[in-house]
Amino acid sequence: MKKNKLLFIIPLTPKNHGVAFLNNFLISNKYIKKNVNFKYINSSTNKKFSEIGNININKFINLIKIFFKIIFIFRKFKPDKVYVNISPYWIGFFKDIVIILILKLFVKKKIVAHIHGVGFKKLIKNKFLKLLIKKILKNVFIIFLSRSLKKDLDHIYDHKLNHFTLNNFAEYQITRKYKKKVLTIVYLANLIPSKGILTLLKVLQNLQQRKKYIFKTNIIGSTYDTKFKSLIIKESKNIKNIKFLGRLYGNKKINVLKNSNLFVYPTKNDAMPIVLIEALSVGLPIISSNLGAISDLVKHEQNGFLFQKNDVKKLQYYIEKYLKNPKMITTHSKNSKILFNKNFTKKRFLDNFLYILNNF
């Protein structure tokens, strides 16, 4: 049977960004290469993580280059369908909307848009943007990270149109055993305000002042913001047994996760973070803010706890529950592994992704 030709228009840089990491995996995966006849264009106007959110002339130049690449590949490769990513965050949103508009005006092929993130409800408070998004997404197939995220497009997208759900995944298949020693907390994210690092540091300060608990903390991640880095140093200087490990990848990252007992993620803005799926893959209990589709990953009181963002008291309360009851860590750890194997493996993701490409 003749394969459909597909064009992927997807962000590939910076590689350490979650969406770009996922897309680089897709274009290099042997299973996808074997079953899909595709070409790809890097739709990112950012080369470094520090460039995200900034506006400059080079980004407009890069966007024009992307436009000409699209036209060139359509003339040479002549794809039947197009797979694109959409960001619901301001700058990325406008770039992605322009790309879809170009596709609808000039090439008029089937488009499936993979939404990474949550935020359309904020955008459509502006009446002009509401009309624009509704017009742009008309007859575009949508891939949601979770069924629970469909509500982000209520009133602007016709849910009767064929749409799909595709959970994120983690590559790792790790078996670990809980060590009945000192509780080791791990935090994994870019050290930026929206990921809640200061919330965690505040809780650690409070727990340390109680003097009745002994625990360790490993922080994986870094920041390009020198002012924010200084603030992190200031807030953590009196916390004992805390290590800042910087960015870790591959086995180094997995070894830290394997030797931890509890994953804490007090994020302020997320949809379906890959770091939580990595925590599930290692079998870690998770305490996280209840945002986006995180409730798909953390089942409250089954494999961890959920709390409202910025609620320092609740986060502290749930960490204390684990400190007081180590047996609960063992139970929740097993449940995290079961949840991962059921919904978030690499094989499941690839099979579902291939199904979507063949059926839109």
Side-chain-side CA neighbours of 132 within 13 Å: the count stands at 15
Tokens read off for 326: 């180590």
Tell me if 294 sits within 8 A of 272, measured CB to CB.
Answer: yes
In tens, the pLDDT along 282-307 reads 999 999 999 999 999 999 999 999 99
Q: Per residue in 311-351, pLDDT tens?
A: 999 999 999 999 999 999 999 999 999 999 999 999 999 99
Does 175 map to a domain? no
Q: What tokens does 5 get? A: 């030709």
Same domain, 137 and 218: no
For residues 58 and 87, state if they share a domain.
yes
Same domain, 55 and 158: yes
CATH code, domain carrying 50: 3.40.50.2000
Query: Residue 178 falls within a domain, yes or no?
Result: no
Q: Is 319 helix (H, G, I), strand (E, B) or coil?
A: helix
Crossing angle for the helix pair 326-343 and 274-282, to the nearest 10 degrees: 110
pLDDT in tens, 72-115: 999 999 999 999 999 988 778 888 999 999 898 888 899 999 99
Number of domains in the chain: 2
**DSSP per-residue letters across 256-273:** HHHT-SEEEE--SS-SS-
- Contacts of residues 172-175 at CB distance under 8 Å and 24 or more positions apart, as own/partner, are 172/254, 172/278, 172/281, 172/282, 173/281, 173/345, 174/254, 174/257, 174/258, 174/281, 174/282, 174/283, 175/283
pTM over 0.85: yes
Is 176 a domain residue?
no
Higher pLDDT, 243 or 176: 243
Domain that holds residue 16: 5-168+345-359
